Structure 1
Amino acid sequence: MKVSNFKSQFQIISAMFFLVLLTSCEAQNTSEKINGISLVASREKISANDIQPIKKVNANTVALMPFGFMESLNSPKLYFNLERQWWGEREEGIKESIELMRKDSLEVMLKPQIWIRNGEFTGDVKMNSEADWVSFEEQYEEFILLYTKIAESEKVEILCIGTELYEFVNARPDFWNKLIADLRKVYSGKLTYAENWDKMDKVEFWAALDYVGVDAYFPLNVERSPKIEELRKGWEPYKNSLKIISETSGKPILFTEYGYRNIDFAAKTPWDSSRELKDTNNKLQADALEALYQEFWQEDWFAGGFLWKWHHNHAVAGGDKDTQFTPQNKPAEQVVKNYYGRVFTN
């Protein structure tokens, strides 16, 4: 009798322990940092083989970026989802890409954004008349709504409703507030907006979103090749500002883009994407990422971020001689893999 009672009690305790353990694991998984990759849209279809290198760096979320195009900063016409666009920039490619991510247990952020002819900065988009503003807003809403419906039907985890559009955001607050409210009626996932680092404190609608989205190209150091400690020190004033914005809005910070080139002075003007010949500095790219991870990935008010950027054809992407942002086949790739392989929770 005593043995039987002991056995029953043991079974009950074991069951309770297993339940607590399971609950704990589930809680950890749902609050895990967003270890994101920004996947560059491909001209042709991508395959399951193209996803494996993303998994190997321990990423858990991929940003997919369908594009709309404008002819100039003040042109009210927005072109998108056209047959002549690359496969990865259109509705068809986005849907198939989401399916591929799902098969490899990757979450998705859908991030429709604009490209302006000659690479002009989207933050300066500004119409010349009220009529042009209204026309542009109608087309922008149509653009975002197309991908919002896809995000909902495919159960996409995060939707980014705009990228670096400060003048538009500043000039037309009523449009943006209504847009957010309308998207909430269609989409049940998390919403964010990606603002450039120097305007992050000027956005008025952070509290209406789920994440404060920041494209984190903060200038950290003016030296040719600063050390990790010097880079971390460069983060101090920005980190404090980010924390204040998070506390004020009540929303966690999400780096909707972050990254560095493997060149000298990469931490001086991290946003510089010019293709002028520059001296290669693979160590600085790796160290700058290391400093960023050390500063942010353990903060409870920080949700994670999306590395800029990653190409689907990994075998031929990047490399030591390539001086653009991708860490692929460079020393920085191992830094990403190491940090993304750790477990940091909010």
Structure 2
Amino acid sequence: MKRFKFLIFLSILSIQSCKTQTNKINGVSFVASGKAINQTDVKPVVNVNANYAAIMPFGFIRNLNDPEINHNTDRQWFGETRAGAKQYIGELRKRGVKIMIKPQIWVWHGEFTGFIEMKNEADWKTLEASYTSFILEYADLANEVKAELFCIGTELEKFIENRPEYWSNLIEKIKAKYKGKLTYAANWDEFKRTPFWTKLDYIGVDAYFPVSDKKTPSVVDCLEGWKKHKAVIYNMSQKYQKPILFTEYGYRSVDFSGKAPWVSDRSMNQVNLEAQTNTTQALFETFWKEEWFAGGFIWKWFHEHDKVGGEDNSRFTPQNKPVEALLRKQYKLPNE
């Protein structure tokens, strides 16, 4: 009887450990560039109190129906290659920054990767072989550099929907190479249908949820807008007994920043720093205090900090904008 009670106690502890995050991931999505980085580029990451950086090597395909992924070539920017990713990681490690390696695909003309879908079985097989080569290249790097976290893909819903068995097998191949924690970066409207969360350590979400239709939403507006989404996100965490990780989050410094946060259209160029700050603050207030929430990676962070962002910039980066101070303050708070 005592042994039975002890086993129940261990089971409860195991469940609680899945739900409780004692150390939040306070991350930045460190954008690849055409050259090596140095400690001058790392210092602003440390200054904003980030403890993680997502390093993002890239593969490229010609269009949504092309099965060939080109990667790790001398035609890419340095930071998009294996050598570049390793160099970035080495510099960040010198200051104690932990690493998530997050390989991504870019479709020419910026088409949405979630729509990648082949038209016949032969092309699906070619895509699978090509993606396996791409992702195992970086699983091997993750093992080499002992990255704390590896992301097996980003926003690939049609690929996953059509080839679930392939993805299940791929995860096993990744685990044979890399022994750290795994996640997948599901789009905000995709994660509810992702079929393999039981095989991963975190439910990864690119958190571009719509939270307000207002030109300059207040924090209160956005907190209200998060309520329906938060309930769904929480239920997913409970269903799978996995912590939620925002593999990407962030807002542009533009009017209507909370209406369709995934939009990167350059025609949206009316700078609105208050909108960016309010939407970001509401996200922090909604999630960072929750035990089932692991943390996240703000989108995007560039090298040469002094030359990017700024109060005339309408893009996602928080750098040299009021939201950077908010980020610094949030990332400095004691972990929940």
1:277: how far off? 4.8
Please tell me whether Structure 1 or Structure 2 has the larger radius of gyration of its CA atoms: 1
Query: 1:325: which partner in 2?
Result: 316
**Aligned equivalents of 1:280 and 1:124: distance in 2?**
30
SS in 2 for 1:308: strand
Deviations along 1:207-240, one digit per CA (max 9) or x if unpaired, are 1100000000000010111110110010001100
Please report the TM-score for the alignment, with normalisation by the length of structure 2: 0.93
Partners of 2:87 and 2:288 in 1: CA distance: 31
Q: Deviations over 1:63-93 (max 9, x none)?
A: 0000000000010111000001001000110
CA-to-aligned-CA distance 1:178-221 (integer Å, 9 cap, x gap) = 01111111111000000100111001101110000000000001
SS of the aligned residue for 1:150 comes to: helix
- Structure 1 stretches of 4+ with a deviation exceeding 2 A read none
- What whole-Å deviation, never above 9, does each CA across 1:289-315 have from its counterpart, x for those lacking one? 111001100101100000000111100
TM-score, normalised with respect to structure 1 = 0.90
Work out the CA distance in 2 between the residues paired with 1:152 and 1:251: 23
Specify which of 207, 212, 215 is matched with residue 216 of structure 1.
Answer: 207
Q: Are positions 1:299 and 2:286 aligned together?
A: no
Tell me the distance in 1 between the aligned counterparts of 2:173 and 2:270.
48
Aligned partner letter, 2:210:
P
Q: Which of 152, 155, 176 is residue 164 of structure 1 equivalent to?
A: 155
Asked if 1:245 is matched to 2:232, the reply is no
Report matched runs for 1:21-36 at 5 Å. 31-36=22-27
Mapped to 2, the partners of 1:259 and 1:47 lie a distance apart of 25
Aligned residue for 2:107? 116
**Residues 254 and 268 of structure 2 are in contact (CA less than 8 Å); yes or no, is this contact kept in structure 1?**
no
* Equivalent of residue 195 in structure 1, options 149, 169, 186: 186
Select the structure with the greater relative contact order (CA < 8 A; seq sep ≥ 6). Answer: 2
What count of residue pairs does the alignment treat as equivalent?
A: 316
1:121-144 CA-partner distances (Å, limit 9, x unpaired) = 000000011011011100100100
The residue that corresponds to 1:279 in the other structure is: 270
Shift of residue 278, structure 1, vs aligned partner? 2.4
Q: Which amino acid is 2:281 matched to?
A: E
Q: 1:204 aligns with which of 180, 195, 209?
A: 195
- 2:307 is aligned to 316
For 2:247, the aligned partner's letter is T
Question: Which AA in structure 1 matches 2:138?
Answer: Y
Question: CA–CA distance in 2 between the matches of 1:135 and 1:49?
Answer: 42
1:8-47 → structure 2 map (5 Å cutoff): 31-47=22-38
Q: Identity, % of aligned pairs?
A: 46
C-alpha separation between the residues in 2 aligned to 1:39 and 1:266?
Answer: 22
> Aligned partners of 1:131, 1:31: CA distance in 2, in Å?
47
Cross-structure match for 1:50: 41
Task: Give, in whole Å, the separation in 2 of the partners of 1:143 and 1:63.
Answer: 17
Amino acid at match of 1:65: M
Please give the alpha-carbon distance, in whole angstroms, between the structure 2 residues aligned to 1:264 and 1:294.
Answer: 21
User: In 2, Cα distance between the equivalents of 1:329 and 1:246?
Assistant: 34
In the other structure, the counterpart of 2:16 is none
RMSD, matched Cα:
0.9
Matched, 1:81 2:56: no
Corresponding residue SS for 1:269: coil
In structure 2, runs of 5+ residues without a counterpart are 1-20
Q: Distance in 2 between matches of 1:284 and 1:116?
A: 30
In structure 2, what is the equivalent of residue 4 of structure 1?
none
Aligned to 1:19: none
Deviations for 1:236-268, whole angstroms, at most 9, x for unmatched residues? 011000011111111100000000011110000
Aligned partner of 2:245 in structure 1 is: 254
Q: Distance in 1 between matches of 2:326 and 2:275?
A: 12
Correspondent of 2:138 among 147, 164, 181: 147
Amino acid at match of 2:328: K
Deviation at 1:31, TM superposition (A): 3.0
